[in-house]
Amino acid sequence: MKMQTVARGETNPRVRRTPRLLRTVLVTAQLAVLLPAFAGWAAGQDNAAVTPPQLRGVGIDQRLNEQVPLDLNFRDETGQPVTLGSYFGKRPVILSLVYYTCPMLCTMAENGLLNALRDVKFNIGEQYEVVTVSFDPSDKPELAMAKKGIYAGLYGRPGARHGWHFLVGDEPSIRALTQAMGFHYNYDPKTRQFAHATGIMVLTPQGKVSRYFYGIQYVARDVRLALVEASDEKIGSPVDAVLLYCCQYDPVTGKYGIIVSRVMKIAGLVTLLSLGTMIFALSRGRRHAGA
């Protein structure tokens, strides 16, 4: 049997390959982490470059610990005048800002809220209130009543009939509320639609902003924890606003589309390529080691 010998002072070629292989693996792993982030940034830059005027300034600023003006006047789903403060004082409140004729995102956000609340063991009307306010001053109580009938029925617990409120209001009250919540939107007269972001807010019984949730899907466990904290008048910490601009206005169709999926696709592709490179490097290293 022939045995390979290495003279003193000479480095085994296999030994030289090992650090080189490790460096390749480490660099590939770093690329797998950094390139998806760059892909997200690049997608954001691309979308910023083509952002239409309707979306400029649209978003949700986190106004934690801000006192919501409780003396604002609205009308409930029955058309009766109410003040915002009539829903505060005893229990925490989940606030959602939508408009009832929204063709896409508002319904998705309300559906996401409904799904989360159905998984929360607390009951609407017992441990907390839900207040949904339209930021479209042209929305009427009839639309609010229709929305309440749908969501209270789908929620399926009796407390929603008197604990989930759907309000409409005039421009001054709507502006005062949305500004206090940091909710910014634009109206497009061509399509008669609003450009807006989506999210929900949790407020303390005294009407201070405690927590924000962005997007159209909300984790029931997190919502429950936010309600517990808000009930004790605790103010949460700022949250990651990655989903703040999850909608993009399409001037051709006059609708909104999710752009996060584009970022995820790019990031996923880069990750797969990086992992493929790492696997190739490892398999090549094993072949050389067995030679």
**pLDDT per position as a tens digit, 196-221:** 989 999 999 999 999 999 988 999 99
What phi-psi label fits residue 125: left (phi over 0), alpha (psi between -120 and 50 degrees) or beta? Answer: left
pLDDT, position 57: 83
Q: pLDDT value at position 190?
A: 82
Q: What is the pLDDT of residue 189?
A: 86
**CA 116, CA 222: separation in Å to the nearest integer?**
9
H or E segment at 142? Answer: helix 141-155
Residues of the chain with pLDDT under 70: 1-54, 239-291
- Contact status, residue 105 vs residue 216, Cβ threshold 8 Å: yes
Mention every residue, 6+ apart, whose C-beta is less than 8 A from residue 98.
Answer: 106, 109, 110, 132, 133, 134, 135
CA angle 54, 151, 259 (to 5 degrees): 35
DSSP class of residue 80? -
**Structure-derived torsion over alpha carbons of residues 117, 118, 122, 128, reported in degrees to the nearest 10:** 40
Measured in whole angstroms, the distance separating CA 180 from the mean position of its chain's CA atoms is 19
CA distance 81 to 265: 48
pLDDT tens by residue, 142-154: 999 999 999 999 9
- Position 267 scores a pLDDT of 46
pLDDT on residue 103: 83
Structure confidence at residue 105 (pLDDT): 86
Which 3 state secondary structure label does DSSP give 184? strand
CATH number for the segment(s) 56-240: 3.40.30.10
